[in-house]
Structures are given as C-alpha cells and as structure tokens.
Chains A and B, each alone.
Chain A
C-alpha cells in the first residue's frame, strides 16, 4: 500500500496520545511520512478522543482523509462513534469485554450524536450494541474484526510482569499499537525507537510495552497476515523533525532568538509556551547559547503588555494565544502599533465566538486580526499552511516586526497546533536574522524616536544610552503627547507609510503562491491549513479529469494585491472557489477588498473538525459539475 490511514479512539486520559507518540517516530525513522491529528473535548478525563493518522510511503503526507483502513477502539464509545469511518474490508480492533455494551449506556456520548447514531443503526438494521455494530461491519462491510479481551491482557500484565492491577489499564495503547504493528508488519527496531522516544529513560516501561506490542502483533499477523503492509518508502535517506505544530513553532522561536515570551494558559496555544519554558537556558557542550524569559502572566492583557515592554528593551519578544486571549490583547496591540513596537503575537485559532469550541479548529479570526483594536494602524498578518511554513514563518515574524517596526500577528490554527507531522529538517540557508534599525548602543541624551520624515527610524532600545519617550496618545517626534492637527496628520500617515515600505520590500513570492498550472481549468483559493488539503485534493481531482490549481495566501497585510489579481484574472470567475474554515469566506472578502474580485463559489467548513481530502474533492465536483455555489463540509466526529 502507498498510504495507510489509522484511527485510534478512547476516553480522554486513557493514554491515547502514546499511540501517536510511539508510532510517528517509528514510521518516520524508516522513511515514511507521518501525519497525525488529535481530536479531543475540552475535558480532562472521560470524553471521547481520537487520533487520525496517515502513514505514507511517498514522503511526507500532506493531509488526512477518510475512510480509514483500521480503527482501534479502546472502548465501546469508539466502536459506536467510528463505525462508519472504516473502509469496506478494513480492520476493527475492539475489546471483547464491551461486546454487550449498549449505545444508550454510553453516558459520555453527547445526546446529539447518540440520536444520530440511533437513527443510522435503525436504518441499517444494526442492533445498538457493540456486538451489533461489529456483526454488521463484519457481514455487510467485510470488515475483519480483531476481538481482544482487554481484561485478559491486563491479567497477563499483572501475572507476567507484576504490574499493579490499577496500573495495567494504562497499557491499553500498546494493545492498539500491537495490532497496528502486526497489520503493517512494522519493523520491531522502529517500534523500539518509538518506545524509547516516548518513555525516555524508563527502561521497565519500554520493556513491558515492547513485550505487549510484540505479543499482540504476533497474534494479529498470525491470523490476518500483514494486509496493511506499506510499500518501500520513497525516502531512503533524510532527516525529519517529528513534532506537533506547537512544538515546531517553539523550536523556530528559539532559532529566531526569542528572549521574552509571555502567556496566559489557553488551548490550543499554551503548549508552545510550556515548551519554551522547558528551554529557558540553551546550551550545547557547556556552551551558553542564551536565555529565554518565559512568563506566565495574570491574564492576556499582561501577556501582551509585558511582551511590548520587553520589546522596548530590544528583546525579541512574543506572546502566544488563541481567540479569547487575543480579544483581551487588542487595546495593547494598538499601543504597539502606535509606538512602532516590534512584538509578535502567535495566534492559534480555535472555534469561536466566545468560548466556542475550545479544543477544535477554525480559521474564523482572520478579519478580526486584521482590524482588531480601535483606530487605524498598520500591522503584518501572516499565516502558515503547514509545519514547515510555520517553522520559517515563526522566525520571519520577528524579522518583519523589527524591520518594519510594527506588531506581527502570526496566524495558525488548532489543526496545525496539535497535528504531529514528520517535517523535513529545515534548510538553514533559508534562515536569516534581520533586526532592522535596532540600536543597542546609542549616543547619550534624549532621542527623537519618531522623526516625521523617517517612517522607519533608528530604534535605540531602553538601556542603550539614549533615552526615549513613548505614549498611546498621539505623539510628536520626541514621543511626547500632542493634539496638534498638523502633527497628527503627519504622524498618522507616517505609521501607514511603514506598511507601504513593507509592501515594497517583502517579496511577493513569500506572500502568495500559485501551486499548479495557471492554465488549469479551475482555481482553489485558500490559506492556513487548507493548503495541505487542497494540494492533495487537486491530485485526486486531476486523476478524475479535473485539472485545477491552488492559490495559497500567506500574508494578508500587506496584501499582495497585484499578484493575486493577476492570478485571478487568468481563471473563469465561475471556476474560482474560496476554500476556508469559516462561514463568511474571510480571506475571500479580503481578496475582494484588495482586488475587486468577487467570489461566486465557496467551499466552507466550520464544524471545528479538519477538512478532509475526500470531502473537498466531492465539494469541488459539486461546484464544478453540480452547479453549487456554496458547499458546506461537515465530515468528522
């Protein structure tokens, strides 16, 4: 097989993450591409959670799709929930101990899903028990069922390894891993590498898990063979970074020279700051490579305010947050905009408004980022389409902030934040540190920080020798308050001139990119994590006879209007489709504002779940062939 899709489900807190943490590096070490998305509730223990994973023989996989080849169910709820996510002839592992569990007994399942399932089961003549679902899948869908008595496994662990009975439950994930290892014939050495990564230094845990995985794998493959065996990987040599988007961005910030990061805990952003906290001192072979101050603040207002303060001292400074946190930051954002402060806000979008879907993704804060805070002031907005883009962009965000002396909002989303990917090792030739007109040493004395005729002026930092004034009021060249109308007119324009300069200087090819042929028959326009899905969908569409291209928007301010206009002009407007994770088509609206191009076709998803390749493919066909102008995607549990 070229690609294998896996889904493992279980209750939150039951060790589900371990499966991805072990399998991702294991497969990656052999040259397979790995992408694993985790879906979970805003809950600590008990709610249904699952990991949807793709392993690809053809390098890095770009996106996820359904149906899957294998569902590993840690509990009854996972069987009920994902019954229709398995392909015909796929594999289902479940716990024999829950065979008699009835759907109505699943207290943790939300009533909306329960009702939908009841109806679906009724329609298909399925008994609403685990056994009923299993029987149906086996008989009607040709699914091969792997029943495992979890209790028997736990008993074995107690007996053979002396594991405490209460602890035995924690090895569930290795039952699932074992089945996957068996079905795919994964090399045991690779499994060892995965276990070492996951249980670093805890020898006994590695040993028990290894034994359990081996035992399950042997049993599964003795009955089923290795039906999910992947082709030889195309990659035979290389180096990959296997990590979540949160971690990748944190690593990039470290390379980019972050010296101050503030945060207030919020999903799905805080993992990034916690990662940085764990690296507050950087050292290799006793060589001091620098320090990072990471401050957990009392609220997001303090997070951005202190980050701005740190930026005034010359520190590369940032804060990471999500929608509700950003809402609290906007007043201070305006102060940074007013005072030419290079501060970076790493913004992981989740479902809003209000608390919304705290642990689910969206792309609904683009317009908000562009206009947040009262008054008018320039800012740079960039967004990343995949892990590697996020890595480079997190570094570039600091460069742009310092070069153009304005706040930079780096938009990401929950999908990318929580997805584990095997990312190619970054190319250092592409990385530069550019600090603009910062001065760490300046002549002693009061300093004219905001010369009228110099939109981007020398920036002596606090402590540089010069002294400077800053204010949120309208200011004169010295940073002192003035309400003078002529000064106001000049200073106001001075701020906006910085964006004009940025627009001239930031290469267009960095800000937007056309993937595919400009002579293609249709065009998808998207941003952020839509990129990975769109690029895969185009391949499948081409195989079906639809030849399309994808326009990826990476920077919304300054917006590459001319380039985008040029690309759009080469397509039939009826065959240009905006693809976004929101209701309004927010990027499309920005395109309209900036170019005058009016979108007629939309494929949108705001359910909080990632976009999947197969639903986008279907959506595009519905638009191109079915005459639909607005397709709303909803796949995913």
Chain B
C-alpha cells in the first residue's frame, strides 16, 4: 500500500494512463479540460486530418470536454440527488476569462425552474404609482435597452468554510455560486417613469413567477434606480429557464436573491414587506444571537481557481490565476501570497476590469516543492479589502451562513496536492 504514490492516484482520477501520464508532462496539469486516454508522444501519433462534421444549427461542446455544474444542498451536503439540491455550482476551475457560459452559470431556485410560455407571461407594475401597467415580453424587448456585464452571486457562496474546511473540496464546491454574464434588458428607471412612481415610494417589492413566488423588498436608492434592469437577454440569447426566462430583475452588485427570476410583479411602497427571504433567510446570525438584516450588497471577494482544491502541481513554473469581484464597483487590485499570507505580490488583472463584474487575475510563480499555502486578497476601487479569515470570523462569528467573503487559502503539501484549508 505504501507504493500508492500521489501521482498514481492523480493519474487514475484524471482517467490518464500511467504510461501516458509519465510520458507527457502536460497531461498532468490538474484541472485540464481535455481528458482522454490517448497521448501523442511524437507527431506521428497525431491522427491524420479527416472530414469534419456537417454544419449544424447549434454548436455542441467537444466530446472530449467534461464540464458541468454540480447540484448541491446546504453546507457539507454534496453529491445529493438533484431533486434534493438547492443550488448548482459553476465549474470555476474549468472556465477561462471572466464570462460564464450561460448553461454553466450557477443556478439557485426555491421551487425549481418553472416552464414559462413567454407569450403568456406578464409583468405587472403597480402599488404607489399613477398608472398600474401590464407588460408583455414583447413590450420589454421593444423598449430602449441596456446591456451590461455583471456578476451575480448567491449570498451563500463560500458557506462551506464558515466552521471548518473539508480538504477535499474543489473551488467549484467552495466558490461556485458566482458567475458573470452579459445581461440585456429594459432599465428599471424607464419602467418607473412609465408607471409614474409616487415620490413617496422608496421601496419596491419584486416577485417571481416561480411556484414559491420568491419576493424581496428593494430600497430604491439612486444607485439601484440607475443600475437595475429587467433582463430578457443573457450572453446574447434569451434567458435560460434556470436563470429566469422569460424575464428577470438584474441588480448589479447585490445579493443574488434580489435578482428575482421569472419576474412577474413589481410593487411600489413606502416600507419593506419583510418577506420570508429577508427575515427567515438571507439574514446573518452574529455570535451574540442577533441577526444582520438588509445586508444587500455583495462584498469584495476573490479566489484562486488554479492551482486550487484537489489539483496536483509539480515543482517549477506555475501560473496562479483566479477571479475577483466586488459589489462596490471595480476591482482595484488583487494581491497573492505564496507563503501563507506572510508576504504579498500584486497580480496582473486581465482587461477589461468592469464595475460589479468578475475580473480575471494571474501571476507567475515558481514552486520550490516545499509545502506552503497560497491565498489571494482583492481590493476594490472604494478601498474595501477582502478580509483575512481570522479577522472576518472574529467580527462575524461562524453562524452567519451568508455573506462569506474571507480570503480563501489553498494548502500545498510536499507531493503537490492542493487542499482547501481555513488559513
């Protein structure tokens, strides 16, 4: 049993033959997208060119690409039946750049994704308004529109690490509840003008057409009035059902739950409604037993996506890369420590760096083969710094469940295996 060296374990888990693994270093890069038994040791092993597939109406992924979300339940409840899952996490370790493919954007719902016929879907806007109006999908599409890249993040993202760190988690498990898409829709401000909102109305109830009728109270600050919109487009195509087809609210920088999917009603009022999702849920229990409410903005955050949990690296050059984002605006800088947060170096931010969208960062590193820990911390344009876990927990306790944005540390042992650790 002592001969069960990490390299063998790794090669089996990746479906790579031992001979192939040893014969080609590139096949050993953990997180590699292309998994297959064949290895071309010389150019003579590369298959000859051949006729390609016929043109088609829609492009599918290569059969060699294994990439999918993971349906999970609450913290520690993984590998569940999809019918018991409450969210489905995006494969951050297998994505490039900063845009999430629409079918891999993380998914969260409270009563499943409804099958809505756009011809029969309506948006009612009423309450403290001069003219209560009903809009069809066609109405929204005919209006002046905006398109914007924005991250949406489930408020529970990161919740695996509140109390302990399971060393077998991937970055998909720990941080897969955030994604960035380009969203297209009608500005909220235009809708507000169309219905003639009363000046005394400062709160808006947004309600979904899902079975649960998920509903949240939204304060109509200038920022929200200027930036929120009712989206029907996602990365250039109509919304996917899992993401709110045929229309959803997009609230750049705010709790994912506020971005109400399958939107069917906006009601204007003068106080919050205190729905179940802003009282019993999405409130953060502090150590003293009191809960923080209306913590609506998503915090400054970042995570190294490679090397990350369960990957295996070799001594020598390593490109450290990851994603950073902030609900406050643009990311100003990301720093990386490769010595367990003792010293920090500034990473390169890939362009474009957009407000309230994920930004890709990377940094060159040479691993000397000794055990260490790597960690990233982001700073946004407002000066908010992603906190170290110790100070974060000292302030928040370990019961908050939501709004975890502490720095993520990955431990690397002498065999090169990368593990989720607390700090």
| A and B together in one complex | no
B residues lining the A interface (CB < 8 Å): none
A residues lining the B interface (CB < 8 Å): none
